Chains A and B, each alone.
Chain A
Amino acid sequence: MNVPENLKYTASHEWVRAEADGSLSIGITDHAQDALGELVYVELPEVGRKLGGDEACAVVESVKAASDVYAPLAGEVVAANKALAEAPGQVNKDPYGAWLFRVKPSDPAALTGLLDAAAYRKSFK
């Protein structure tokens, strides 16, 4: 299963990428998309919504099951990848390209508290 070294992760199978503008892109991991199967529906948080850490804020549904996506860090939603509503299968094809939403974290330093690639790999093995 693909777990890129340059990303941070959560035990609930989100990935987090720090963007140049200080926001964080959040998606679901290759392992998560594989376990769920082909996605047919994605529900994203509204831009401007304030999220608590670990708050359920998005939903991905596959042919098989629905699954919540949790905010890895507290912060404000600054973007949502609306294109996924028409093409949820993009998450299966390119899990690390198909970000779900972006958050401006209330405490940027908290990013270091998330799992690194090695620790995430261990979490599901």
Chain B
Amino acid sequence: MLHTPLIDAHRKAGAKLVDFAGWEMPLHYGSQIEEHHAVRRGAGMFDTSHMLAIDVEGPGARAFLSRALANDVRRLAQPGRALYSCMLNERGGILDDLIVYFLREGLFRVVVNAATAAKDLTWLGALAAGAAQLRPRRELAMIAVQGPQARARTWSALPALRPASEGLAPFCGAQAGETFVARTGYTGEDGFELLMPAILATAVWQRLAQAGVRPCGLGARDTLRLEAGMNLYGQDMDESVTPLECGLEWTVELASARDFVGKAALAAQTPSRTRLGLVLEERAGVLRAHQPVHGAHGAGEVTSGTFSPTLQASIALARLPLDYAPGERVEVELRGKRAAARVVQPPFVRHGKVLV
């Protein structure tokens, strides 16, 4: 089993550890529901060191990424700017979703999912074919500090980060000494993602904990991202789905003359399904992946579901025929019964507020 630099800190904190894509990671530290609320109401932190940062270097880096990614890195004009993008195969299927940071001309940093990291490196390496250098930064640890109090508590724990990170707009990052600080995350709350040399990670984690930032596991991370309406790779999307079918149209730039891998397939596609949210309207159980959905416009399925601690109801992301619209009613099959659900447009929750 693979371990992040924070494994001892997790064990000492009494984490329940689980196998996540070969990594032994905290599922929770006692209560994933309380951890969820801590992020919505105060501040929580996640060890995301299992994800991989890959530096893309060289004079050809921008041109290479503009071909490799479905979103347009030309949008990254100022150093520090970040962009969310899918990486597609030639059929338009999603190989991974990632965040790319523009550090300076000739240097970008791509952060990819843990389960797909090896596949991504191989793919990018073959695609680059020497036009840019790829440097996996396995020696970097990553901690996401999230919640309405996240930035204030980060500065109180780590005052040295404040000057470089105080003026950061959302989706921007800056280097502060040895730590790269980005105002990004995967929870629908404000906060930072910190990338630092592995050797610093435990001290940073402990100082954040002392400043009142609650350690949170993958359980809370999943309920938070689902409430925030964010797809999880491998569940809400994979190589069999294009961005046009899973709510990520906004990340694909088809209008310009720029060519990218998968563009021709997307341009030729007339999507017949879309991604929408569901809220279970009766107390009948919990929505979960692969449950069939039935309604006036045909059948679909839940791609990920959970019990939302904020809404106190079960919610889900679902792949449905294109004709469905928010406000309609559907029925979900769960444990042999059918239960009524309301179709909504995700996100369910942003910045602590219920939106559906």
Could you tell me which A residues sit within 8 Å of B by CB distance?
A: 37-38, 40-41, 43, 59, 61, 63-64, 66, 85, 89
Could you tell me which B residues sit within 8 Å of A by CB distance?
A: 27-28, 31-33, 219, 223, 283, 285-286, 288, 306-307, 314, 335
Chain B residue nearest to A39 (CB atoms) is B307
A91 nearest CB across to chain B (Å): 13
CB of A64 within 8 A of CB of B335, answer no
CB of B219 within 8 A of CB of A64, answer yes
B327 nearest CB across to chain A (Å): 25
* A residues in contact with B335, CB < 8 Å: 59, 66
- CB within 8 Å for A37 and B286 given contacts A63-B307, A64-B219: no
Taking each of B28, B219, B307, B314, which has the highest tally of chain A beta carbons within 10 Å of its own beta carbon?
A: B307
Bound CA span A37–B31, Å:
8
Bound CA span A46–B285, Å:
17
Bound CA span A43–B32, Å:
22
- CB within 8 Å for A37 and B285 given contacts A63-B219, A63-B306: no
A40-B314, A85-B283 are known; give 14 further A-B pairs, CB within 8 A. Answer: A37-B27, A37-B28, A38-B31, A40-B33, A40-B307, A41-B283, A41-B285, A61-B307, A63-B32, A63-B33, A63-B286, A63-B307, A64-B219, A66-B288
B226 nearest CB across to chain A (Å): 11
CB of B32 within 8 A of CB of A38, answer yes
Partner of B33, one of A38, A41, A66, A85: A38
Chain A residue nearest to B18 (CB atoms) is A64
Bound CA span A40–B307, Å:
7
Partner of A66, one of B219, B283, B285: B285
* A residues in contact with B28, CB < 8 Å: 37
* B residues in contact with A40, CB < 8 Å: 33, 286, 307, 314
* A residues in contact with B307, CB < 8 Å: 40-41, 61, 63
* B residues in contact with A43, CB < 8 Å: 285
B279 nearest CB across to chain A (Å): 14
